[in-house]
Every structure is written in structure tokens, then in C-alpha cells.
A = this chain, B = another copy of it.
Amino acid sequence: MEVIVENSDVLLYLDNKRKYLVKARKGEVLHTHKGFIRVDNLIGKPFGVKIKSSMDVEFVALKPTLKDYLQKIARKTQIIYPKDAGLILLYTNIGPGSRVVEGGTGSGALAGLLASYVKPDGKVYSYETREEFLKTAEKNLRRMGISEFIVLKKADLTQGIEEKDVDAVVLDMPTPWLVVPHAYNALKNTGTLASFSPTIEQVIKTVEAMRKNGFLNIETFECLVRRYQVEAGKTRPETLTVSHTGYLTFGRKFLL
């Protein structure tokens, strides 16, 4: 049974809306509306145990997953949602061993997500021009324990891509259409380009650039996820939903 050790990250779970990502180290205390919790008391106990707050409210000490780290990052900045990330994985064929170019890095969330699927033999090359984002991303990725599979690069994807023969290029940036010709050159034959954009005008320009620059099987999707309240006699979708994050466009390189 996996045990919480010093410096383990722990997700303290109260309910589906209240989950706290903390580190099990000496003196660490989590303060909540339901009282405080001495996190260091968890050291030596197995993940999954219950722990009571000072107000005698029960929390459970879960082991954080990739998604939990992403949600923590998401609180501070706009990141790709699991629904979109899942489609990107399936449509790009990114998996263990893949070499991927990605950008802009932003908070590092998408780079970290992709890296956790390309390990142990693959690599993610993540481009970002803004120094302050690179610093934040580096911190986030180190915490996720995924840094070794990522190369952070201070460079502009619209100016070119240094890597060759990569399996996929994944774009989450304002002008993806400017990267399309560079993506063609960086991709191995029949590699995949993926682009995430909030507005339909970005999509139209990107698809046009892909048609002109050696991509086929071009497809654009949007993905909606609706959460349900499930309880006998009260089952129904939740009232409010995030109904738009962005459009996803995919295409495959062919030889001109």
C-alpha cells in the first residue's frame, strides 16, 4: 500500500467542490472553513486514509493525479480542459515514446499533460516567448514531477521550429496559422498537427493555411461536457455548464 512520505503531495478531499493540494512536510497546516488540518500527521499513513479537521470534519487524503495538478493550475490561468486534452491525445496519436512540439507554453499545463503520456522515452519541446511564463511553467512542471520529459524553449513558433521528424505539433496560441508551414517542416511524414482556438475566425484561417501547406484529413471539432447530479429521484444535468472553451482542429501531413 502506497504510503505518504515526507514531501509527498496530498489531495485533501472534502467534497467534489472542495479539494486541497498540499505538501506533507513538517509544520504544514491547511486552514479551511471546516477547521484546520495538521498535514504532517499524514506522514507514514497510506494514501486514502481519513483525517479529521480541528472542527471534527472528515477529509480523505488522496494521491493527486495529473488532472488534480491541472485543476490547481487552472485556478490561476486559463488552461486546456480534460475534455479537449483527451481529444488531442486520441487525434494526434501522442503516446509513450512520442516526440512532440508544443506552444505557447503558458502555465505549462498542456506541456505537462502531454509529457505524462510520452514518458519514459518521448519528449515534449515547449515554446514560449514570455520569460515570466517560462518561470511559472518550470515551477508547475517540477511540482508535477514531469520536468525531465520536457524541454522548455524561449523561442517563437511563428518564426520556425528547430526540431525535425516530430510525431505531432500541438498549438494553443493566438495565431496558429502562422505556424502551419513550420509545423509541416518539423513533422515526420504523416505526422499530426493539432490546434486549439477560442474563436471561429482563428479556425477559418488555420484550416485555410493547412489546406495550402500540405495537410489533409483536416477536421474541426468542439467538445461539450455536461456534469450530472446522480441520486435516486433527483437525477439531472447540472444547471450551468462551461459550453465553450475552444475549437479543436486536426490534420495530417502528406508528401507534396
Contact = CB atoms under 8 A, between A and B. Distances in A.
Given A86-B88, A201-B233, A220-B227, 18 more contacts: A16-B219, A19-B217, A47-B190, A63-B190, A65-B192, A67-B90, A67-B91, A82-B90, A95-B116, A95-B119, A120-B120, A120-B121, A199-B233, A201-B235, A207-B230, A223-B225, A224-B226, A228-B247
B201 A234 contact: yes
Given A90-B85, A188-B1, A228 B239 contact: no
Interface of A: 1-2, 13, 16, 19, 46-50, 60, 62-63, 65-67, 82-83, 85-91, 93, 95-97, 116-121, 165, 188-190, 192, 198-201, 203-204, 207-208, 216-228, 230-245, 247, 249, 252-255
Number of copies: 4
B244 A236 contact: yes
A90 B86 contact: yes
24 contacts: A1-B165, A2-B190, A49-B254, A62-B190, A62-B217, A67-B93, A83-B90, A85-B90, A86-B86, A89-B89, A95-B116, A95-B117, A96-B118, A97-B120, A199-B234, A201-B233, A220-B227, A221-B225, A223-B226, A228-B247, A238-B243, A240-B240, A240-B242, A241-B242
B254 A232 contact: no
Contacts of A204: 230-232, 235
Contacts of A2: 188-190
Contacts of A50: 254-255
Contact of A241 (B116, B236, B241): B241
A201 to B, nearest CB: 5
A13 B217 contact: yes
B244 A242 contact: no
Given A222-B226, A254-B48, A236 B198 contact: yes
A220 B230 contact: yes
Contacts of A66: 90, 93, 95
Nearest 9 CB-CB pairs, A to B?
A86-B86, A241-B243, A48-B189, A237-B244, A65-B93, A82-B90, A48-B255, A220-B228, A207-B230
